Amino acid sequence: MTTVASLAPFLGGALALSGVAVAASRRRELLVRWCAWAVGVPLVTAAFWWGRPGTAAIACGVGVIAVVEYGGLVRLGRADRAVLAGAVVGVVLAAWLAPGEVFRVAAAGALAIAAVPLVAGDADDGLRRLGAGLLGLVWLGVLAALVPLGADGLALFVAVSVADIVAYFAGRRLGGPRLSPLSPAKRWSGTLAGAVAGLGTLAVLSAPGWPMAVAVAVGGPAGDLLESMVKRGARAKDAGDWLPGSGGLLDRIDSLLVALAVLLVLG
């Protein structure tokens, strides 16, 4: 059984080894990214170590930040963003405090999102606001799945992150056919190499199971493409510019979100 205690030594060792490799490369952009990981990995690990309260807390925090970034991409107003953030937080808290009421809370959140343009009487832009809000609830509300997953959720995040990193570097080096017009820089070679690396990470972390494998190999790349579609529609390169080396938080968790959705469907 995967536990946070069993994952912690692996994460610490991987962080230390990657730090040595980054220092040896003397590449500033890699150093900046590693520093962000050096702060984020212990924080996330500590939250999962705390159990469901810690996981719910970090999922709520991540959800609110992601809503702000997503709202900026799809041009949602303050009221829309506030209600969407409340709906996402409500779903996460329900997964922690009242698991049997998650779908009821999600439905209430969807109604609240629909109410904002209706109350405003927005005949010109209301349909777009409604669609963007509901997509945001479905896409970001899946963070609630981290609460019952526990250590398996942390293992999934690690495996997806490793797959992302390997896919980026392997795609640039190996080249080949493009994965999708949504993201011309991504290659099938990188995606396949990333999937192999992600599955290998699951094996090292003792987090087997075909649903987890499909979530990493298929859900991860699909999540990346989904955010690429949203960003292309917004004509934006990144969801934000505050996270060193990664743009915004949504740029960092896009693969995890759809991987979680796939795991929910299969698991």
150 and 95 Cβ atoms separated by less than 8 Å: no
pLDDT of residue 50: 94
Tens of pLDDT, residue by residue, the chain (267 residues): 678 888 888 888 888 888 888 888 888 887 888 888 888 889 999 999 999 999 999 999 999 999 999 999 999 999 999 999 999 999 999 999 999 999 999 999 999 999 999 999 999 999 999 999 999 999 999 999 999 999 999 999 999 999 998 998 899 899 899 999 998 889 999 999 999 999 999 998 887 789 999 999 999 999 999 999 999 999 999 998 888 777 899 999 999 999 999 999 997
Question: Who's near 40: CB < 8 A, 6+ residues apart?
Answer: none
Question: Who's near 241: CB < 8 A, 6+ residues apart?
Answer: 247, 248
pLDDT of residue 136: 98
Q: Quote the CA–CA distance of 267 and 259 in Å, as a whole number.
A: 12
73 and 234 Cβ atoms separated by less than 8 Å: yes
- Exposure string (b/e) for 54-75, b if CB count within 10 Å is 16 or more? bbbebbbbbbbbbbbbbbbbbe
pLDDT of residue 1: 61
Torsion angle of the four alpha carbons 143, 146, 147, 153, in this order, in degrees rounded to the nearest 10: -170
| Joined tokens for residue 127 | 């349909």
Note the pTM of the prediction, 2 decimals.
0.94
Cβ neighbours of 238 (radius 10 Å): 16
pLDDT of residue 246: 74
49 and 9 Cβ atoms separated by less than 8 Å: no
pLDDT of residue 71: 97
137 and 84 Cβ atoms separated by less than 8 Å: yes
Single out the residue of 81, 82, 95 nearest to residue 143, CA to CA: 95
Q: Quote the CA–CA distance of 196 and 238 in Å, as a whole number.
A: 26
